[in-house]
A and B are shown apart, each in its own frame.
Chain A
Amino acid sequence: MAMPETDATLDAVSDEGLARRIASGLPGSTDAEEAELYRRFAPRVRLYGRRHLRDEAAAEDLAQEVLLLTIERLHAGEVQKPEQIGSFILGASRMMAHGERRVARRREALAARFMPTAAETAPMSLASLDAPRVAACLRGLAERDRLVLLLTFYAEREAPRIADDLGVSPGAVRAIRHRAMARLRDCVLGEARS
């Protein structure tokens, strides 16, 4: 069994090393490692949740619940293969998304625990994705591109419905969506970096 990595900065520690540090530390003594684990995996769990739960708030809740469960299991020594921590988190995401167990009190406690950390540890280029900046970039898109993005990621409509509305094929909707996301990313991140 590999020993925990102890001499690297958190950024440089592998996912496995991070999991081992948390597993080998006492609860309350690994706050930095837990925050780093959250920073690395919460976006991926949110993406998973957004796709399977079709709800932004539920995806956010899922990320918090899954990461708390993961940390609890690590501390309890119940993660058998820390080298597969990603697979463990994906499995937990699947289990919790399917069950949709939501306990309001637990959620509030999770929010209090994670939200400030999550904000502080967001990558610099993403920390300033404020609404006016993104709104300006959306305004700058071609009408067709913007409409497809809004229908997909705001109104949460599927391609056949969007295709009917726009009088194009579902394949064309997909191609427009790819182009629109690339342009939105370039605009938003370009401004954020400048």
Chain B
Amino acid sequence: MNASGCERLALADLTDYAAGELPASEADAIEEHLFSCADCSARAAEFDALLRAIRPAVRSAEVGGFVTDDVLNRLAREGVRVRSFVVSPGAMVPCAVWDSDELLALRLRADFGGAGEVTMSQRVAGAEVVRATAPVAGGPHGELIYALPASWVRELPVVEVEVLLTTHEGGEDRPIASYTLLHGGSLQR
């Protein structure tokens, strides 16, 4: 990334620094170097540009994937319109997005037991449309939150979406919970 000579600051150093992960003495040393080394200027500019780009990308509601309440709360504070559906194991839940929604959040409740990772599969008319594996903290009263861009959900026809959570244990997949979403299409106010 930086063709010039100094290799004092690697991407990992800048990442730790920006994340506030370093002891004060190490952070001070990075700052001293950062402001005095012209060679590292380009590397710092590139890293700064990356960090600055993350927020508008997430705020665009086009990222999706597993999130937590911390992420959803931040999105809400920034004015992103999130529609949430809480679903319990075995439930059949009517679900749709309105024309003003930007993100759909599925709150999948389950007993995760001792699972460290959970795979979610979403199937529409028998075909898998989403498959994602996420870490979970486990526990009997857990909840996984999966976010979908509303623009993507809007494209779905009126259809049933089967959601299955499994975990991989002892070389086998163990079902954790299943849910049925009765997608009602895109709604307009």
Contacts and interface: CB of A to CB of B under 8 A. Distances in A.
Interface of A: 14-15, 39-41, 43-44, 46-48, 50-51, 54, 56, 84, 86-87, 89-90, 93, 122-123, 125-126, 129-132, 134-136, 138-139, 143-144, 146-147, 149-159, 161, 164-168, 174, 177-178, 181-182, 184-185, 188-189
A66 to B, nearest CB: 11
Given A146-B65, A165-B68, A181-B15, A123 B57 contact: no
Contacts of B53: 129-131, 134, 188
B32 interface: yes
A139 B58 CA distance: 10
Contact of B41 (A40, A51, A147, A185): A40
B141 to A, nearest CB: 15
Contact of A144 (B20, B27, B71, B134): B134
Interface residues of B, number: 57
21 contacts: A41-B35, A44-B34, A44-B35, A47-B44, A48-B31, A51-B17, A51-B27, A84-B36, A89-B35, A131-B62, A135-B62, A139-B63, A147-B66, A147-B68, A147-B135, A150-B63, A154-B55, A159-B21, A166-B135, A174-B19, A182-B11
A7 B136 CA distance: 61
B137 to A, nearest CB: 4
A154 B64 CA distance: 13
Secondary structure call for the A interface: helix
Contacts of A84: 36
B112 to A, nearest CB: 9
Contacts of A122: 49
A50 B54 contact: no
B38 A15 contact: yes
B7 interface: no
Contacts of A50: 18, 51
B50 interface: yes
B133 A143 contact: yes
Q: What are the 6 closest A-B residue pairs judged by CB atoms, nearest first? A: A43-B48, A134-B57, A86-B35, A167-B137, A90-B35, A155-B70
Contact of B74 (A126, A130, A154): A154
Interface in B148-174: none
Given A90-B35, A154-B55, A159-B19, A132 B62 contact: yes
Given A155-B70, A167-B116, A131 B60 contact: yes
